[in-house]
Amino acid sequence: MKYDKIILGIDPGTNIMGYGAIHVVGKEIKLLGAGVISLQKVKDHPIKLKKIFEGTIELIEQFKPDELAIEAPFFGKNVQSMLKLGRAQGIAIAAALVRNIPIFEYSPKKIKQSVTGNGNASKEQVAAMLQKLFAHPKSSPSGGTFNFTELRYLDATDALGAAMCHYFQDSIQNINTNSANGKKSFSGWKAFLSENPNRQVSPIKKSS
């Protein structure tokens, strides 16, 4: 059976929550949308959590994902930041559970490794690799080239990276079935490009 899923990626945060949604049919990956939900003007923490829940529900209603991929909290932050980030992630997960959507969690290192081939890649490098993939009109919303320079925050590309990471990991889990059926799956960006050399393009340069 041809792979056909809509995956919503979430990069949780109490100030900025990133999101990115993709639709994968076979080997074709289309970007449905990416952006952020800003919570910077909301001062009360419980209200922020309420906004995260409502925002996640709205994203689910908009993109109608089959599965949700979420970035795990990074344990290099201070205790208070970790507590707040953990709550934000938990609220986003709760929203998905309310809508009976399967949830998959990936560490920042795993996402970077899957997308760029380097677990220590910078956020900018992750964004650049994603831009290469979605630079093709047929891969972008409304058939137009998606301009990643319009994304103000890298939280959006982090979320999109989580969605792509889940697609690649999902392919790994199905590799035995796919191999038996003579189908191909991809464990990461490099494997995808090796089978799709025409998808390699130069990043869009910012005008000076």
57, 45 Cβ separation under 8 angstroms? no
Q: In what order do the strands lie in the sheet with 67-71?
A: 28-38, 16-25, 4-11, 67-71, 103-106
What are the distances in angstroms from CA 8 to CA 61, 103, 187, 197, 206? 11, 10, 19, 26, 28
Work out whether the CA dihedral 72, 11, 99, 148 comes out positive or negative. negative
- Among the listed residues 11, 67, 158, 170, the single catalytic one is 11
User: Which of 67, 71, 158, 170 is an active site residue?
Assistant: 71
Active site residue 4: no
Reference 68, options 77, 78, 60; nearest CA is 60
Active site residue 155: yes
List 67, 155, 158, 170, catalytic entry: 155
Handedness of CA 79, 80, 83, 88 (dihedral sign): negative
Cα 55 to its chain centre, rounded Å, is: 16
Tell me if residue 105 is catalytic: no
Active-site annotation, residues? 11, 71, 155
